[in-house]
A and B are shown apart, each in its own frame.
Chain A
Amino acid sequence: MTALSLRDIRMTFPDGTRAINGVDLSIERGEFVTIVGPSGCGKSTLLRIISGLQQPTSGSCNVDSKNIGYVFQDSVLLPWRNVQKNVELNAELQGIPKELRRESAQKAIGLVKLNDHVTKFPHQLSGGMKMRCSLARSLVSQPQVFLFDEPFGALDEMTREHLNDELLNIFLQEKFAGLFITHSIQEAVFLSTRIIVMSSQPGRFISEHKIDFPFPRVPDIRYSAEFAELCGRISHDLKLAHA
């Protein structure tokens, strides 16, 4: 079942910068697609277009906008709300009754393993815990399409790998259609069923790689020869994207 489809998306900014130049993409539920590409190639803009935060100059975007989860680069938590209340926010804004949203928030908090921290405020959390909280907030409404805008970019390697493992577990349980953006090739290969390499100015897709590691994926596949070879191939394409 196709959850998201883009047809010939183009984006030109008012100052004339051509950010995205003809992008086609379709993602089904149970797929996890990652886009890698140089900074400023329009990856984030693409996510903003899909989520409806921005209108493309031309092209069509087919997605149920009420059913999108969006995880930002930063955790984007309300500093005056504790973890529980932050996780409930999306559901609250969508008008879901109190009892119901409390229940689903509890469940989401369980999924990201923040059970012991529900009464803490954002300033009391580490970077990784803030990201978990942000993830849980999006999980509450059980979206069919999940957009991730470089969510773990600011975290240290250990925390990042740990969160990658957990994100995959959640992906297996929830079976959403995932679209993930990252600078880290290892992260991309580990998480994805498909990787798209994007070039910059103007941004367009230059290659696509299928990742066939079976699920559930154990953390140790990161050290396999096959994994290294895939990373090498994508890295090669990325160099072309830069050129």
Chain B
Amino acid sequence: MINYKGYITLFLVPTIALFMLVYAVSLVILFGTSFTEWSTGLKPMFVGFRNYIQMFSDDASFKEGFWNTTVWVLLQSTVHVLIGVVFAIILNMKEFYWKFARTVFMFPNIISGAAVGMLFLCMLNPNFGAVNSIARLFGHSDYAQNWFMDYATAFLSVTMTWLPYAAVVTILILAEIAAIPDSLFESARIDGASELKINLFIVIPMLRNIIGTCVILAGTSMLQKMDIIMMTTGGGPGNTTLNLPMYIYKTAMMENNFGYSNSVGVFLIGFGIVFVLLARYLFRIGSSEV
């Protein structure tokens, strides 16, 4: 083969430049100041590993936030992706509703997070919210479940504002299915395989790479999720729905403790790397042999 090295460099340079521009400074400041005490408007002071030690030894909120984040990452990379994949496969049967359903499913993803938060806050209001109003129609005339604030339902309610909305997974999978040669389906059909079997044994194995990608994207999105939580529960009741991005934001912007907040940020990145590497390994992402 020809020597492509020059071209490879040429094609990589713009991305690397973009990365340096947008992320490099943040990364350097993030790692550097995670070893300092740094509050807004003052100079950072080196304190060694003190922030990290405090984080692991003496910070109940951090532990709760980490636990919630982990649960959400796991749910999002499994249940959420599963919903998206199943829906994509159903849509791909191209029954009468498929275009309509595919478009409608995307709606909640199109609305910005803050508006989604407001919307759910209104819909789940214990007094006048749509959900409780419907429940009252079915006879519970006094029904006033406080979905976002009751300890029993807060975590679930927040989760439900994003877990079922897997339209992104669905469109990714649909695009990938579109790339599977029709001849494969036809030969399977001629062999008498049922739709279910074709999907299970032909389609899904061919989607390995993209499902892995979805798992990574969906899982890591939970390492950034903040706007909806902020709008609905603010992390409460107690710390029931606190996650690490929210904790980082609060520590930096409310307590003016940039140093500590950045240590938690470094930890979160480390956690994310482990997750990404694990997913890449499990799904053998990057190898193109099917």
* A and B interact physically: no
